[in-house]
Structure 1
Amino acid sequence: MKKLFRKIAIIGTLSGMLFGLGGCAGDLLDTSPSYSFSSSNVWTSPILARAAVMGVYNELYEKFSKNYDSPSIGIPFDAWSSVMDIDMNWKNNCFVISGSCTPSNGNVGNHYKYYYTIVYRANDVINNIDNVPEMEDNEKARLKAECKFLRAWAYYHLNVLWRGVPIYTENVESSEATKARSSEAEVWEQVLSDLTDCINEPNLPGKYAQGNSSYGRITKGAAYAFRGYAYQFMGDYAKALVDFEAIEGLGYSLYSPSNGVKGNRDFFQLFKPANEQCDEMIFSIQCVETSGMGNPRGINYGNRCTGGSAWNNYLPNPAFVEMYECADGSEFDWEKYCPGWHSMTPLARVAFFLRDGLQSGKGEWGTTEATSNYQALYNNMVSYGADMSKYLDQGNEARIRQAYEDRDPRLMQSIITPYSTYDGNQAGVGNHTWTLRWPYILDAGEPYDIRTDTNSKFYYLWRKYVTENDECTTRWVYSEDIILCRYAEILLRRAECLNELGRTSEAVAFVNKVRQRVGHVLLNDQAYPATVVSGQEDMRQRIRKEFYVELGGEDSMFFNELRWGTWYDRKFKDHSSGQVGELNTNGLMQIWGETTYKHLSVGEQIKIWPIPAKEREMNSNLTQNPGWQD
């Protein structure tokens, strides 16, 4: 299994020689790879030609799997969305939310260069592979189709972020890369053209079976998905729907071995290595337990009790967590579980999240000095501002835990919530079960609290993508694949298309397929009034919420928020009404709504990124996007 990306690891040095993985010095549009072999030699050898194709695939890994040592490129897209925020220590790595986005910002240029590197490498294959001798025509056609997909994938992202960029489908030298920007519509047409060629290529399979040596390569399933994405971004819901419907006929389906039995853990198990090649996966980056080839999200989404000692760089936003419905389909409201919540300040609400026994000294910490230490913690919370009249010395933990247990099952299968347990692995302790408690006391012995990088703060932590026990005992080598597209998202996109086309009643069935998998109450269940859909706009908001709770943390939501036109508002604006109990949704927050830092915006022009200043210096034909000054 995973032979494709083992091949990438094996030929990493070779593709580095072929394509100059470090890039050309001072050149953002990386069109001049430093060949150790001449171009003519590359395309006279099937082995070297296949290595060139692997060099295009390798760039996917550079973006999604190396975010621990390349934060300018590797920050998860969903950290830019309203789903999650970046830990205080890392936030300055993200120009999008730190107020540092300018045309001359190096990270803006790095992203531009990254996507054009894929474009150039793909062009080199597309325009030369037909010349390779001793290679079967069907293999040439398949490899060309794979590279057309990867070129389309790059242009898709360039167009979403910059809304019109130069189109290069030919091989050009750096000095010749002087095209003007094509319009947004023209770039979409290029994306559609490449993906249509993939779909029409008979040598490109619809799907690879689990364990196939080619698993991880591009398929018709991925091409249909991303062509549908493009149509949807363009607002052509009818054409998008046709593409999404075609995927079902290729053999993809939801992973649901328990068939939706209430209380099942199918959603949680979906993100485990054992199921990474199940029929739900349409496009994923394969990771292996090899240094430099692992999935770092198991570490960066984790905590200090993960994989020896991991990090919690990316933290679920409390407003996102509050989107998960109650078990009866009604909207979550803290007042139901914590009376007085809406009239309290965030600091006062801390009382609801405190561990049992602080007042009596009868908590989990079973040491001789426990009573005095608990009393000290109690006094600290009083000084902090907690309204201790709301505190239950015995039962505080059970009360707050109920607020999470009485919810859509995907919540606790995606997020480590207060007073839930986590089976981790920690240096010096090994496999053990820890609990997320507040205030933190001790993790290396009783009471085995989850330790984080931020023990003086109390945040939600990810469970999705995070390793358990000894699944990952060496950091950065977790084998779980990084999912870029799965069938559940296609079902939700089908629902969205149907609803936008006025076929709301049909859309309900596709949302219900996703909800049924986790055993959550279905829409339009007459026994639960909150589930009854009242019309197209109501269904539109329900579908969008379903996207969040199903796909949060998987790098889909940033692009969906841009597509819906909701991103800037959700990320940067404070939606509180000014009343005491309202939650500020802008910035990294502790669970009760206390802000650690606010996101900083340079202005609404950031909805469309600036063309890098250095690119415009090298190419005078490039015009700048509105609102940006070089």
Structure 2
Amino acid sequence: MKRIIRNIAAILVGMTFVLGYSSCDVDLLDTTPSSSISSANVWESPILARAAVMGVYNELYEKFSKNCTGQTLGIPYDAFSSVMDIDMNWKNSCFVISGSCTPSTSAVSTHYKFYYTIIYRANDVINNIDNVPEMDDEEKAKLKAECKFLRAWAYFYLNVLWKGVPIYTENVPNSEATKARSSESEVWNLIISDLTDCINEVNLPNKYAKGNSDYGRITKGAAYALRGQVYQFLEDYTKALADFEAIEPMGYSLYSPSDGEKGNDDFFQLFKPANEQCDEMIFSIQCVETTDMGNPRGINYGNRCTGGSAWNNYLPNPAFVEMFECADGSDFNWEKYCQGWDSMNPTERVVFFLRDGLESGNGHWGTTDATSDYKSLYDNMVAYGADMTKYLDQGNEERIRKAYEDRDPRLMQSIITPYSTYEGNQSGIGNHTWTLRWPYILDAGEPYDIRTDTNSKFYYLWRKYVTENDECTTRWVYSEDIILCRYAEILLRRAECLNELGRTDEAIIYVNMIRKRAGHVLLNDPTYPATSVKGQEDMRQRIRKEFYVELGGEDSMFFNELRWGTWYDRKFKDNSSNQVGALNSNGLMQIWGETTYKHLSVGEHIKVWPIPAKEREMNPNLTQNAGWQD
């Protein structure tokens, strides 16, 4: 599939016919053929018809691979969630948190256009591929099913973000694209119908095995997974559960070669190119080492010691990091590791994160005696407001490391935490081991601190999806596939449905499967009292926390927060466990809770995005969502 996509991309350069854009925008989405190959000609050739199908898939790269930070469509959806925040240099590229979103905001139109482009391309295939000569009926049926999935996928996101949109199942001229918005329920029904057709299509396989030339194409497993999510949004947990259960016998399973042994790194290895086609993967974007077709998260999630020199555009939020349990299954509490934390303000807490040797002046970097420099750093921290009465000159680093090492193993496999190491690659140095320390001193020689785009601040950094050593040395061409759905997520959704149906004991089984893979303590382990589940509501919160620690950074949590009705409060209100001395914990925060910038909201109506003003100008039948004024 990767090879096919790369080759088809070259073909698509000369095929601007039906692979054009949605009929909903006259200026931006002109569907008039501009090459010698007309739409009708496409369906006279099996080769061109197959390329048209690949054109639907190819559009996914516009969102997940082609764009980087600064190009709005490429912002990971989890940057909209409470999981992570955008670096100060790029925050204005995110209209959701800028406090200035209007129906005329170009980013809103960009997202709207993206999904309708997929719909337009899929419609063309669905309505025309039966006419292709010299193509087997079985292949036609399979390709049509794939495009019905992709159309359903696009309508799914439109419906979640805009709550009811115009339904087009056949492409019409721009002048006739004047349908009113269908209701949210009507859109859900179309999505369910399309996905049901996929599931019922005998020519669509349940899954593809690793190495299959069609790996990456749509499967029944993906269709069941998406339809189950629709039923979850509808709170029809019985039907959702049935769909998630149907995936089990298809051959999907958790990647777990170590079988849950304590101290294993299976979770970390899951996100490596070597395992991108393991049986856990249900739907993923096939990335290759080619410009605009690589995985940009290795760069945007990385740091200046990544892949030659990457950017830490997206930074894990401290409140998210605090959700990872202690090793005994208890909730994390800073006071357990840093006594006095609860009564201190954030700047005073800086003391707990300082490197050793500042008070005595021990240590050096480069070839010079650094005694005066270390003392200067000490004085700077005093001036900053750190409570240096709690500083341990030769034990500060060890104390703070315990706060992270004594946790759910997925924490340090997902996040580069203070005083943990990272195997990177930096121009001029090559492969090396760097350490996240504060304050930063030097990365090009001893002590080899991790350098970032934000050296004057101290943030958590991503480890998940970030390349190591020389896995990637050319920007934007990291070959690790972008995961859109994996089996662990299905197990969590299955657990959630069971719990909502009052079958809490059964739900525990599926959560424990995931915790075991990670090497974490299991729920209801009598050795660890904190793991005892105390009824349905307690389990509901445990399942939600499990979603965060398992899937954070994978573009799932924004939509889960919307579904749970928790997104607005988690994104725009104070959520960190900074206790008494907390500053505004809404926004990008340094590790100790000091706010760099706050998220700004235009109001609670941002929960549902505005219909783009330009779309309403072209189609007067489009009504606007509540709270938005054109």
TM bucket (normalised to shorter chain) is over 0.9
Residue 221 of structure 2 corresponds to residue 218 of structure 1: no
Alignment of structure 1 residues 107-146 onto 2, 5 Å: 107-146=107-146
Quick one: which amino acid aligns to residue 306 of structure 1? T
Q: Tell me what 2:328 maps to.
A: 328
- Report the secondary structure of 1:282's partner residue: strand
Deviation at 1:37, TM superposition (A): 1.4
Q: Tell me what 1:612 maps to.
A: 612
Deviation at 1:106, TM superposition (A): 0.8
Deviation at 1:32, TM superposition (A): 4.9
Deviation at 1:287, TM superposition (A): 0.4
CA distance in 1, matches of 2:271, 2:545: 21
CA distance in 2, matches of 1:35, 1:70: 31
C-alpha change, 1:21 and 1:455, in structure 2 (3 Å) is: farther
Quick one: which amino acid aligns to residue 250 of structure 1? M
Deviation at 1:36, TM superposition (A): 3.9
CA distance in 2, matches of 1:529, 1:94: 42
Deviation at 1:219, TM superposition (A): 0.4
CA distance in 1, matches of 2:434, 2:175: 58
CA distance in 1, matches of 2:83, 2:12: 34
Q: Is the contact between residue 329 and residue 530 of structure 1 (CA under 8 Å) also seen in structure 2?
A: yes
Q: Tell me what 1:195 maps to.
A: 195
Q: CA deviation digits over 1:390-443, x for unaligned, max 9? A: 111101001001100000000000000000000000001100000000000000
Quick one: which amino acid aligns to residue 477 of structure 2? V
Q: Is the contact between residue 584 and residue 598 of structure 2 (CA under 8 Å) also seen in structure 1?
A: no
CA distance in 2, matches of 1:364, 1:331: 38
Q: Could you tell me which runs of 5 or more consecutive residues in structure 1 were left unpaired when the two chains were aligned.
A: none
Alignment of structure 1 residues 148-547 onto 2, 5 Å: 148-363=148-363, 365=365, 367-547=367-547
Q: CA deviation digits over 1:63-90, x for unaligned, max 9? A: 0112316621110000000000000010
C-alpha change, 1:15 and 1:396, in structure 2 (3 Å) is: farther
CA distance in 2, matches of 1:92, 1:229: 31
Quick one: which amino acid aligns to residue 37 of structure 1? I
- Report the secondary structure of 1:606's partner residue: helix
Quick one: which amino acid aligns to residue 607 of structure 1? K
Q: Is the contact between residue 317 and residue 460 of structure 1 (CA under 8 Å) also seen in structure 2?
A: yes
Deviation at 1:6, TM superposition (A): 2.3
Q: Tell me what 1:41 maps to.
A: 41
Q: Could you tell me which runs of 5 or more consecutive residues in structure 2 were left unpaired when the two chains were aligned.
A: none
- Report the secondary structure of 1:167's partner residue: coil
C-alpha change, 1:110 and 1:374, in structure 2 (3 Å) is: same
Q: Which moved more, 1:93-102 or 1:277-286?
A: 93-102
CA distance in 1, matches of 2:21, 2:623: 29
- Report the secondary structure of 2:422's partner residue: strand
C-alpha change, 1:198 and 1:578, in structure 2 (3 Å) is: closer
Q: CA deviation digits over 1:574-596, x for unaligned, max 9? A: 24799633464310000000000
Deviation at 1:14, TM superposition (A): 3.6
Q: Is the contact between residue 22 and residue 29 of structure 2 (CA under 8 Å) also seen in structure 1?
A: no
Q: Tell me what 1:627 maps to.
A: 627
CA distance in 1, matches of 2:362, 2:441: 14
CA distance in 2, matches of 1:279, 1:326: 29
Q: Is the contact between residue 287 and residue 478 of structure 1 (CA under 8 Å) also seen in structure 2?
A: yes
Quick one: which amino acid aligns to residue 128 of structure 1? N
CA distance in 2, matches of 1:476, 1:367: 36
CA distance in 1, matches of 2:117, 2:208: 27
CA distance in 2, matches of 1:537, 1:261: 30
Q: Is the contact between residue 419 and residue 435 of structure 2 (CA under 8 Å) also seen in structure 1?
A: yes
C-alpha change, 1:196 and 1:70, in structure 2 (3 Å) is: farther
Q: Is the contact between residue 288 and residue 478 of structure 1 (CA under 8 Å) also seen in structure 2?
A: yes
CA distance in 1, matches of 2:541, 2:474: 42
Quick one: which amino acid aligns to residue 166 of structure 1? P
Q: Is the contact between residue 576 and residue 593 of structure 2 (CA under 8 Å) also seen in structure 1?
A: no
CA distance in 1, matches of 2:382, 2:46: 71
CA distance in 1, matches of 2:100, 2:581: 31
C-alpha change, 1:598 and 1:188, in structure 2 (3 Å) is: same
Q: CA deviation digits over 1:237-273, x for unaligned, max 9? A: 0000000001111100000000001100000000000
Number of residues paired by the alignment?
630
Deviation at 1:171, TM superposition (A): 1.5
Q: CA deviation digits over 1:460-515, x for unaligned, max 9? A: 00000000000001111100000000000000000000000000010000000000
Quick one: which amino acid aligns to residue 130 of structure 2? D
Deviation at 1:61, TM superposition (A): 1.0
CA distance in 2, matches of 1:17, 1:297: 32
Q: Is the contact between residue 61 and residue 292 of structure 2 (CA under 8 Å) also seen in structure 1?
A: no
- Report the secondary structure of 1:47's partner residue: helix
Q: Is the contact between residue 308 and residue 425 of structure 2 (CA under 8 Å) also seen in structure 1?
A: yes
Q: CA deviation digits over 1:309-333, x for unaligned, max 9? A: 0000000000000000000000000
Q: Is the contact between residue 294 and residue 476 of structure 1 (CA under 8 Å) also seen in structure 2?
A: yes
Q: Is the contact between residue 311 and residue 452 of structure 1 (CA under 8 Å) also seen in structure 2?
A: yes
C-alpha change, 1:15 and 1:100, in structure 2 (3 Å) is: farther
Q: Tell me what 1:55 maps to.
A: 55
Q: CA deviation digits over 1:128-177, x for unaligned, max 9? A: 00001011111100000000000000000000000000000011111111
CA distance in 2, matches of 1:367, 1:373: 13
Q: Percent identity of the aligned residues?
A: 82
Deviation at 1:293, TM superposition (A): 1.3
Quick one: which amino acid aligns to residue 203 of structure 2? N
Deviation at 1:8, TM superposition (A): 3.7
Alignment of structure 1 residues 527-606 onto 2, 5 Å: 527-575=527-575, 580-582=580-582, 584-606=584-606
CA distance in 2, matches of 1:366, 1:306: 22
Deviation at 1:361, TM superposition (A): 1.6
Which 4+ stretches in 1 moved above 6 angstroms?
21-25
- Report the secondary structure of 2:13's partner residue: helix
Q: Is the contact between residue 14 and residue 51 of structure 1 (CA under 8 Å) also seen in structure 2?
A: no
Quick one: which amino acid aligns to residue 251 of structure 1? G
CA distance in 2, matches of 1:610, 1:203: 39
Deviation at 1:10, TM superposition (A): 3.4
C-alpha change, 1:306 and 1:33, in structure 2 (3 Å) is: farther
Q: Is the contact between residue 86 and residue 588 of structure 1 (CA under 8 Å) also seen in structure 2?
A: yes
Q: Is the contact between residue 209 and residue 215 of structure 2 (CA under 8 Å) also seen in structure 1?
A: yes
Q: Which moved more, 1:159-168 or 1:35-44?
A: 35-44
Quick one: which amino acid aligns to residue 449 of structure 1? D
C-alpha change, 1:583 and 1:137, in structure 2 (3 Å) is: farther
TM value normalised by structure 2:
0.98
Quick one: which amino acid aligns to residue 467 of structure 2? T
CA distance in 1, matches of 2:220, 2:70: 31
